[in-house]
Amino acid sequence: MSEKEEKKRISLEICIDNLESAENAVAGGADRLEVCSSLQLGGLTPSVGTFEKKNFFPIIFTFRKAILSHKSFNGTVHGETFQTKKTKHLLKVLHEFIEIPGFVSVLRYKYPDIPLYCMIRQRGGNFVYSEDEMGAHTEDVEWLKKAGADGFVFGALTSSGALDRNACQSVIETARPHPVTFHRAIDVAYDWKNCIEDAIDCGFKAVLTSGQEASALDGVHIIKEMQELYKNKIDIIAGCGVNSSNVPNLVEWTKCHWYHASASVAKKNFPPNKISMGKQDNQPFRVTSLDEVKMLKETLAPPI
């Protein structure tokens, strides 16, 4: 390993699916957030809702007056310059400003300096997607870019277990100029080496993996081989079951520069519903532990 690689900083990505977890991850020193919903399903696309940002209120108020009076508007409001001539154009611009992905917008507003990588995954289950599902995926990317996402996490496979180039390239192209990580779909790929090489060729910037095992610790030998073979071409992120107790061994054995964890614990004094709303609804509500994130960061602080 070169001297430059030896001194390269080790970084921590925390996956979160609620605001309390985001707050604890940021306070604990996480270098990046992977923003999801439904981590109990392995992580799905974060919510797309309506969120009226505080800074947009002057814009909304001015546009509303123009729309009601059927007048055009030319000028600057709150640092934004607009030139519109017809009511429908006013409505379009107004729509683009106030209807943006809620959860991600709140995170961007609260934590302007931390990178937010958004999961793009419409459903649980396998990673073989239909044309309609891919249309929904790329639409989500467009909205999440407007909300302030800094990057995306996505993976798609063919029915034979190879990387689906068409699906992956459609997301990468839509996400530009933001980077995209190929997620743990690689852990169920038929041939992980071919999958990584295809991911590099498509333009992915990182691969999140547990080494084709149930946890990164179990898959440590494959993760190590991935790092040795492809460290100069793509970031290998070791994830799944990573915690402050086992991460020293993972660092020593894999030599990766990125580690991924939820650092979550069951939330105390959070009673479940009396009636289950679904098969996963009776599971304890989990949140990222501030103490665990701090311990992970302290452990990862020294260079390799």
- Residue range 30-75, pLDDT digits in tens: 999 999 988 888 889 997 543 333 344 444 445 555 554 545 555 5
- Residue range 76-126, pLDDT digits in tens: 444 445 555 545 555 555 555 545 557 888 888 889 999 999 999 999 999
For residues 272 and 280, what is the distance between their CA atoms, to the nearest angstrom?
Answer: 11
Task: Determine what percent of the chain is predicted with pLDDT higher than 90.
Answer: 64
> Looking at the predicted structure, is the pLDDT value of residue 232 above 80?
yes
DSSP 226-268: HHHHHTTTSEEEEESS--TTTHHHHHHHH--SEEEE--EEEPT
Q: Considering only CA atoms, which of 151, 211, 214 is closest in space to residue 181?
A: 151
String of b and e for 228-265 (b: at least 16 CB within 10 Å)? Answer: eebbeebbbbbbbbbbbeebeebbebbbbbbbbbbbbe
pTM over 0.75: yes
- Residue range 123-154, pLDDT digits in tens: 999 999 999 999 999 999 999 998 889 999 99
Q: Among 68-72, 102-106, 259-263, 298-302, which is the least confidently predicted range?
A: 68-72
What is the fold of 3-49+100-300? Answer: TIM Barrel (3.20.20)
Report the DSSP beta bridge partners of residue 119.
153
The residues spanned by each domain of the chain are 3-49+100-300, 52-99
